[in-house]
Structure 1
Amino acid sequence: TSLMVRYVEGEFNHNYIQSLGVNFMERTITLHDNPVLLSIWDLGGESEFKNMLPLVCDGSMVFLYIFDLTSKTSLASIKEWYRQAKALNRSAFPVLVGAKYDRFRELREDKKREIIEHARRYSKAMKNCPLVFTSAELGVNINRLFKLVVCLVFGLNPGIEQIEADDQPIFEYTLIQ
């Protein structure tokens, strides 16, 4: 939710309110002098919201699988979400997004390395999907993430510099030929 609000409204609310089911926001961007309306759906990550998954999967072109960079449990839950979403919509592009990079930076080096390794392994298992570390609070990689999303949908080269160094907010993707 924080990531979506940061992108659409350009702000971060420190009084975080957890997604209760499904949220929806829109933002119009310009692509090659044409307006493009992005409809962004946000489904709460708790298991009780899985019954709403068909609602957000139908017609979706990209799935952002968002996990908390400070929680291995959060990353591990992505596996089941990915399996279920893929069964409902095989054509949507997956993108693995690590949130709370601002807090991740404060972890011990061994914990950070472990989470990065696991995230890269998940990204590879998810058809080499993009892996992006973000911070809604600091605005890290938010606009770049959504630029990548638009480029995936339209088959464009994003021309975004990749960041693969473990001491930076990771931004890795493979161009689709």
Structure 2
Amino acid sequence: MIQKKICLLGASGVGKTSLIKQYVEGIFSEKYLTSIGVKIDKKLVVCEDDSVQLMLWDIEGIDRYCGFQPKYIRGASALIIVVDHTRSQSLVEGIEIFRLARDVSDIPAILVINKSDLNTAWHWSDEELLDLSRPFSHTFRTSAKTGENVEQLFSVLAQHLLSEAGR
């Protein structure tokens, strides 16, 4: 078994904590509590004949006021950049956060478009998303509320990490 640190980054309110709660505990809460600092959860993922312990770092929402803290991603094996399907600004912020993270680390990153269960008056075209997601190893549309693609997101990540480790 190997252990890998995974950092979830994104603007405030995009659903980073809810994604982790859905994945680790199988629950969703309508209550919104702002994360402060970092919270770490663990989950063991078994892939065929091997396993990986994911250390999921739920990092506080990054915005203009608190800024990006490069110290949180030291030692990480992958980044998950989370954006909110209902807020176009969160995509702009997510891409900026990704660029800031790239300045200090070249680890793989996944783009997660969360809250796919909610309706919105606008949507990103497939062409726009394809263009924006080019630097990411994968892109997922998820719903922390319904669980849509949450398990798949972390399963694909775990398999990628195991293959990178030569397992």
**Contact 1:6 1:12 survives alignment (8 Å):** yes
CA deviation map 1:121-156 (0-9, x unaligned): 2101x2x53110000000000000001111221238
Map 1:24-39 → 2, pairs under 5 A = 24-39=40-55
1:115 and 1:67 mapped to 2: Cα distance?
15
Distance 2:91 2:19 in 1: 17
> Tell me, which stretches of 5 or more residues in structure 2 are unaligned?
1-16
* Residue 138 of structure 1: aligned partner: 146
Alignment of 1:15-54 (within 5 A): 15-47=31-63, 48-54=65-71
Percent sequence identity is 27
The question of whether the paired residues in 2 share the 8 Å contact of 1:2 and 1:16 is answered with no
Are residues 1:107 and 2:120 paired? yes
The gaps in structure 1 that reach 5 residues or longer are: 157-177
Aligned partner of 2:97 in structure 1 is: 81
Q: Which of 131, 137, 158 is the matching residue for 1:121?
A: 131
- Kept in 1, the 8 Å contact 2:45–2:158? The answer is no
Compare the two structures and name the one with the higher strand fraction. Answer: 2
- Among 56, 68, 78, the alignment partner of 1:62 is 78
Higher relative contact order (CA 8 A, sep 6+): 2
Change (3 A) 1:136 1:59: same
* TM-score (ref. length: structure 2): 0.79
The answer to whether 1:94 aligns with 2:109 is: yes
CA–CA distance in structure 1, aligned partners of residues 66 and 50 of structure 2: 35
Instruction: State how far apart, in whole Å, the 2-side matches of 1:143 and 1:83 are.
Output: 26
Quick check: which one's helix share is greater? 1
Quote how far apart the aligned CAs of 1:65 are: 0.5
TM-score, scaled relative to structure 1: 0.75
Amino acid at match of 1:107: T
Paired residue secondary structure (1:107)? coil
Q: Spell out, residue by residue over 1:29-67, the C-alpha distance to the aligned partner (whole angstroms, 9 max, x if none).
A: 223344421100111223244343322x11111110000
In the TM superposition, 1:141-156 aligns within 5 A as: 141-155=149-163
Contact 2:47 2:159 in 1 (8 A): no
Following the alignment from structure 1 to structure 2, what is the Cα–Cα distance between the partners of residues 69 and 115?
12
**Residue identity in the other structure for 1:97:** V
